[in-house]
């Protein structure tokens, strides 16, 4: 039984537990993250935090890091039926402050364990403690060997997003604290979506760590997380077929619930879109019969037709507003910032996406992507369609609807 961290390293008394990384959309466990444990007798285990805290006090952090890498590779090589699994292997990026990271030694240890670099995702944490230029070189070196590289513990802050853009990893991992309770926290949702959006544009996968229930799992998937990890799919355990079976069962439950949730949301959106398009057509027909001076009065008759309608207005062919903005009655009494004021007749909409898309050849009617309305401050979409009034003049009808 080791009595010190030095003895633990000397006797190689480190074992690895694995936590599953899952893809709900693939209905599969796609990877295992290795988490080191110090073995102190047959029962007691030292956590990674305990191990590295003791190692730092004794100035043997690098030796412990090397031992954990070799132990994880050896343990993963012994996992049955691992052909479709990737090993997520933690490396200590703070070593860069003490000199070059021995990436070549990691590649040799991988090959000595009977694995290929392509089987392994190298995770770098402690990014704040790492020298950025050295880390960029290390990431590029590891990728040139065939390893995928992941950045761990991302919180969505500007600094973390800058680091992602600078290092260009293959995988980004959103921090556990960001995921906990995310189903009910709008700010956390926005931060995760920012991470996932940046990752996707760079060709990287997003892993949501710390997923503990179905609601958070569904929200993380909706916000762009490609892979999920957390107690909901399995705690770190010595890996065997039983652990894989339990994880796979949890993945299947998530897949079924996600399928039902997506189908339900799709049906609701389809019904809402049909109502909006029907209303838009009724408006177009009414406006086509209206005299030139009666366009605004005609809009007034329809503005309270459906609860999701925000406002109505008419443009001419140049994108200049021809009517006041007719606002749904429940929006009229709201106290708003001066940033959010309905546009008046004469306002120029010629650079708005919904105007350009319609006039440059998009389908008629056109439905815009969601955006924040400067009229109401709400997230909305704009539906646009052409019509000709009773005098034969061409116009564009705009209908803003709330986007949830």
| Average of per-residue pLDDT across 281-290 | 94
Q: What is the share, in percent, of the chain residues with pLDDT greater than 90? A: 53
17 contacts 237 by C-beta, under 8 angstroms: yes
Q: Which two tokens stand for residue 48?
A: 């990674």
- DSSP one-letter string for 293-329: GGHHHHHHTTTTSSTTEEEEEEEETTSBB-S--EE-H
Angle, helix 48-57 to helix 61-77, in steps of 10 degrees? 150
DSSP H or E stretch at residue 180:
none
Q: Which domains does the chain have, with CATH numbers?
A: 5-239 (3.20.20.450), 287-402 (3.30.450.20)
Q: How far is CA 78 from CA 42, 53, 81, 233, 305, in A?
A: 21, 29, 9, 21, 65
Encode pLDDT of 354-393 as tens digits.
999 999 987 899 999 988 888 888 889 999 999 999 889 9
| Average of per-residue pLDDT across 304-318 | 90
pLDDT value, residue 331:
55
Q: Which two tokens stand for residue 265?
A: 């949301």
pTM: 0.72
């Amino acid at each position: 039984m080791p009595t010190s961290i030095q003895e633990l390293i000397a006797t190689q008394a480190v074992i690895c537990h694995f936590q599953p990384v899952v893809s709900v959309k693939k209905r599969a466990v796609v990877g295992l993250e290795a988490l080191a444990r110090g073995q102190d007798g047959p029962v007691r285990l030292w956590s990674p935090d305990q191990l590295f805290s003791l190692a730092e006090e004794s100035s043997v952090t690098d030796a412990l890091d090397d031992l954990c890498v070799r132990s994880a590779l050896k343990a993963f090589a012994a996992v049955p039926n691992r052909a479709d699994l990737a090993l997520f292997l933690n490396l200590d990026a703070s070593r860069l402050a003490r000199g070059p990271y021995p990436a070549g030694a990691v590649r040799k240890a991988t090959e000595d364990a009977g694995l290929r670099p392509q089987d392994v995702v190298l995770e770098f944490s402690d990014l704040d403690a790492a020298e950025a230029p050295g880390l960029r070189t290390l990431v590029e070196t590891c990728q040139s060997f065939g390893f995928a590289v992941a950045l761990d513990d991302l919180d969505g802050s500007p600094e973390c997003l800058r680091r992602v853009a600078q290092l260009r990893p293959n995988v980004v991992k959103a921090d556990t604290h960001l995921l906990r309770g995310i189903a009910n926290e709008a700010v956390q949702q926005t931060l995760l979506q920012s991470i996932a959006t940046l990752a996707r544009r760079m060709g990287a996968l997003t892993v949501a760590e710390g997923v503990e229930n179905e609601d958070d799992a569904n929200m993380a998937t909706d916000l762009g997380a490609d892979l999920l990890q957390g107690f909901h799919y399995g705690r770190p355990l010595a890996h065997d077929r039983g652990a894989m079976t339990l994880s796979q069962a949890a993945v299947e439950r998530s897949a079924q619930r996600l399928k039902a949730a997506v189908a339900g949301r799709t049906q609701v959106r389809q019904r809402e879109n049909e109502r909006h398009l029907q209303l838009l057509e009724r408006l177009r027909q009414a406006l086509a019969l209206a005299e030139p001076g009666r366009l605004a009065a005609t809009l007034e008759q329809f503005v309270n037709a459906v609860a999701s309608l925000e406002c109505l207005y008419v443009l001419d062919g140049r994108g200049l507003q021809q009517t006041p903005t007719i606002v749904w009655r429940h929006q009229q009494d709201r106290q708003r910032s001066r940033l959010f004021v309905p546009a008046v007749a004469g306002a120029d909409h010629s650079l708005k996406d919904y105007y350009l898309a319609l006039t440059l050849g998009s389908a008629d009617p056109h439905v815009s992507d969601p955006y924040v309305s400067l009229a109401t401050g709400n997230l909305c979409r704009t539906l646009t369609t052409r019509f000709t009034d009773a005098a034969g003049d061409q116009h564009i009808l705009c209908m803003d609807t709330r986007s949830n």
